[in-house]
Structure 1
């Protein structure tokens, strides 16, 4: 099996939510969104440790969550960097040295199913790198800065990438180190791995694994919690 570490990234300000509070700390049911996410991985037996990366001003609050919600697998609560990539790199540096596999997951995705977490990890163990994703439902247009349509890619080739993203730890560390050396900033961890020549495989997830980023997401999240992915359904 090898040791499995999880990096939960929750350092974002969440300006699109339009609230004074960052989105990961908004209440969902009776708990902050972030706590739902942490508990999901806390309850997966195969996870050895969780590294939580948050905004510098939120370290104390999140350390409190770890204690009050008995999140015993959270070994570090770290202040994130300027960009998500910097935050993930800090998480990678904190993982125990004998860790073999790592999952990187968004703190505001509390509804990924355990089955899909394992599917993604299993594919990474075969291929070194795998990400959860779903086929795009809508027609996508490439649009220029003047809002003029430039092209229409074939929808059958388009997938919306989710998290977790699963990697052999040594591979992801190398990808991050190379990006740092080259001053390259990617949009996700898979992009950094692709960039050093490793093929990343897609594992199909589902549309309930939403990223809670705008006010419209909250009622939908409450519905998923009540009907699909609450703790009693996991």
Structure 2
């Protein structure tokens, strides 16, 4: 097996959650969300190199939470940047090799499955990239600059999730570019660098917890799993 890394980006502030606590530190099932997320990747492989990227001011808080919860998973903690692009790049710079694969995942997506993680690594090894996504369930409309709108074929669109997994050499070259305002995820960076993107199936359960409603749903998911 090639070197395999996971960069878990956890830079949330909790603004949309309506709380002072960063959302990745909020508790579900008696444990911070970020710890659940890390354990999903550990369940995939005990040998996986896990890198957690946090705002520098939140690192002492994380260390204290680990002590409180006796959370002893071996992870490397890296200080993030002002943007997601900068945070991913900081995590990437901590990886000394170009030989292998790297998955980037949202710290507040704690319900990613082992099968999705495995598929992302296997697909990226074959094709260079694996970007998790799901089809739209609802009808969609395109909004124009003048305020008018038109129906679009939802079958032609996907909602993008994480993990997004790439061959390391390719990914490092992609992140040598100057940051652009339209870099909303890693796939957009890799595509801008001229590399093709391979989509893989995600799951509607692989939610990103960003609002109080998401937190309630997550708590219900945890309860129903026990």
Structure 2 equivalent of residue 223 of structure 1? 220
C-alpha displacement of 1:77: 1.2
Q: Is the 8 A contact 1:17 1:215 kept in 2?
A: yes
Structure 2 equivalent of residue 184 of structure 1? 180
In structure 2, relative to structure 1, the CA distance for the partners of 1:157 and 1:107 (3 Å cut) is same
In structure 2, relative to structure 1, the CA distance for the partners of 1:46 and 1:226 (3 Å cut) is same
Structure 2 equivalent of residue 104 of structure 1? 104
**What does the per-residue CA deviation read over 1:104-154, in whole Å, with 9 as the maximum and x for residues that have no partner?**
0000000001011111111111100111111011112222567x3433221
2:6 match: secondary structure: strand
**What does the per-residue CA deviation read over 1:57-115, in whole Å, with 9 as the maximum and x for residues that have no partner?**
1111223445631112x0x2122111001000000001242651000000000000101
1:213 match: secondary structure: coil
Q: Is the 8 A contact 2:136 2:154 kept in 1?
A: yes
**CA distance in 2: counterparts of 1:111 and 1:217, whole angstroms:** 12
1:152-191 equivalences under 5 Å are 152-178=151-177, 180=178, 183-185=179-181, 186-191=183-188
Matched residues, number: 223
2:222 match: secondary structure: helix
Structure 1 equivalent of residue 208 of structure 2? 211
**CA distance in 2: counterparts of 1:197 and 1:114, whole angstroms:** 30
Question: 1:63 aligned to 2:63?
Answer: yes
Deviates more, 1:120-129 or 1:94-103: 94-103
**CA distance in 2: counterparts of 1:58 and 1:224, whole angstroms:** 27
Structure 2 equivalent of residue 113 of structure 1? 113
2:175 match: secondary structure: helix
C-alpha displacement of 1:219: 1.5
Question: 1:194 aligned to 2:196?
Answer: no
| Runs of at least 5 residues in structure 1 that lack an aligned partner in the other structure | none
**CA distance in 2: counterparts of 1:224 and 1:62, whole angstroms:** 24
**CA distance in 2: counterparts of 1:198 and 1:191, whole angstroms:** 10
RMSD: 1.8
| Runs of at least 5 residues in structure 2 that lack an aligned partner in the other structure | none
**CA distance in 1: counterparts of 2:118 and 2:200, whole angstroms:** 10
In structure 2, relative to structure 1, the CA distance for the partners of 1:32 and 1:7 (3 Å cut) is same
2:200 match: secondary structure: strand
**CA distance in 2: counterparts of 1:8 and 1:214, whole angstroms:** 20
- TM-score where L is the length of structure 1: 0.89
**CA distance in 2: counterparts of 1:47 and 1:151, whole angstroms:** 49
